[in-house]
Structure 1
Amino acid sequence: MHRLSVPVADGALALVAGTAALLGTPHAARLQDETGPGRGGYALVALAAGSLALRRRAPGPALAVCGAAVAAYLASGAPFGPVLVLLAVSVGSAALHLPPRAAVAWPASVLVGATLVSLPGVDGNPLWALWMVLPWAAATAWRARRDVTRRQREEELRRSAYEERLRLAQEIHDSVGHGLAVIAMQAGVALHVLDRRPEDVRRSLVAIRDTSRASLDGLRGTLQALGLPEGADGPPLAPVPGVEQVERLVEGVRAGGLEVALRVEPDVREVPEPVGQAVYRIVQEALTNVVRHAQAGRAEVTLGLDAGELLVVVSDDGRGASSAEGQGLGLPGMHARAAALGGELSAGPSPSGGFRVAARLPLPARVP
């Protein structure tokens, strides 16, 4: 919907308010058994209304002009009338659009000036001040509420932006971090067997190549999702990883020389996409920590069901607590993924030795 510009909108308001005030002034005079204000009085009403055209662009001077016009109108002996409504609008506009201190100073100056000048109907009659005090109080209260709402909205936007940056950082950390850990492991294996078993070097280099490609595809997909506007064309994104890709993930770690046992119950493969993605990322990060920190010879990944929850357990026979050395985005990210689905995750040394990561993720009830 097209909105009018400030000058046009305020000019229209001044025109409508001025017309109504000019038409209503003689009726107000008759109700008070008074005569009309005369041509000079009507000119002052028109001047007060015309000042409203500047109520947002120059609210202070507009209030000064309106206040002076109303004071001159009353000084001429004209009766109370719609001109006071124009003053109320001008006071409210000043309270809304001036800086906080000026929003108090300008209306107060007009009020004090009108009080000090002996005006017919005003001198000794405090009720007339309500035409200034009430609109000022109402506008100030509305402005305070508006400012609170704006600050809350800005805070929500900042929090949403922060959460989105954190989510993207977590995605890049999980995909690229795992790939780099596997590449480092494969490169170490290649250097270790370079002189004794040169034929094994080729297998490690192939694994490095495949892992690099997979990591680059994941990074490209994340960056493309971040950079392309909605509906824009681009190369296809890599599929969202899920439970089905866990086996391939484990095979990549095995290729680096770490023995990894995988146990997956059949029904686990039929889970909602958000749960499957969380399973994949938790297993990925847990195996990355094993490769980077545990100095383990064997790891085990178990995916099972228990009382409507999906259980994810990754354990190793490494150094135990030292497996948690990566205190960057890894463990907090796994906790956050589980919590986002209403689940929970624990990570710590296993009683039998090594390190153990265990997550319980609730599953939606299945319709029979």
Structure 2
Amino acid sequence: MSQSWKSLWKSECGKSIPIYRVLVPESVNQGVIRAWNARGYRYTAGAPSAIMLTGGMRRNFFRSSVLFKGGTGAGAAVTAGFAAPGGLALLSGFADAALTFGAFGGVTAVGTGVFAAVTGPKYLRDPKRLSRKNRRKVGQAQWITPVALGFLPGRKEGRDTDEQRLFHLAVTIARKIVRTRAWTHPILRDHVSRVDLDHAVASIGVRLTELVKLREEIESIRDAGTEKSVETYLSKLALAFTSMADRVLSMHEYYERLTELDQQLMLLHNSERSRELGDRVLDVLSRTAADDSADWQFRELRIDAESQSSVISGLVAELEQTADDFDDFDSRLAAAQETLDELEPTPSSAPSRQKDDRPSD
């Protein structure tokens, strides 16, 4: 990989403020994911806009919920409103008034029951609904944010970390990947060369978060007696960080392959469109001028689609190799993580502050 991650970060996102909130898919279950998808929430790593967590993500606030809960709540309130005066009238000896209030209360109670019987099943079967168990799961969802990676905004008190910059680059690449034509094209649907983008980006974020926390704990025990050990530990962390940087660079290479495939898909589309237009022109000529020489003339003018098809097949094969290389970093990272676990020092309660080394614009 000829390009370093720092130069790529400077060119792609070095002058932009990091704004992202990426979900770790393994932190919630599939029921939560299905409900969020039904609501249209954009929480994936490749979402084209900034992803912000809202309180509504853990609540059932949508049409069927409002109808069921609002209607039954209002009906219960009205029923109670008639029941209270009726009870007072009965205690006061006004039997006729008590019967009147009781009759109205009974009517509203029956109406509320019918309304609940109609709207309740719709709400319970609504794909947007989160069960009580899933609402608790949403509260435990894990998100990768700039702050979690050591970023603090501001000119004087602000700071940044290499881990945050690297993950910002990964998020930027992911957003570019999902905007390519090839990413949503049928040629890559269920294809081996299509990586699990959410899992890939989230796994990078989780590992980088661990590196940030562990480095701060290591720095907090630095003194004259532990200087040598601290430097050894930090060198091991640098190896793990390099592995993650290689993973992000491989992700960028995957994006470049997709852009090459985009160009070939556009040529293929234009060539197929040219054939269609040529056939239509030939049909018009055959029904009007009856020009026998028009057929071979248009055959020479058409763009041959077979050449684009062969190029696309070759690019898809290269994408498979790139995706395999991208996934191979998981095994390397696991080996590096085992080494870190063996060398992890005793945590300290006083993390050190990291100097802001973010380059000026």
TM-score by length of 1: 0.23
TM-score by length of 2: 0.24
More strand by share: 1
Larger gyration radius, structure 1 or structure 2: 1
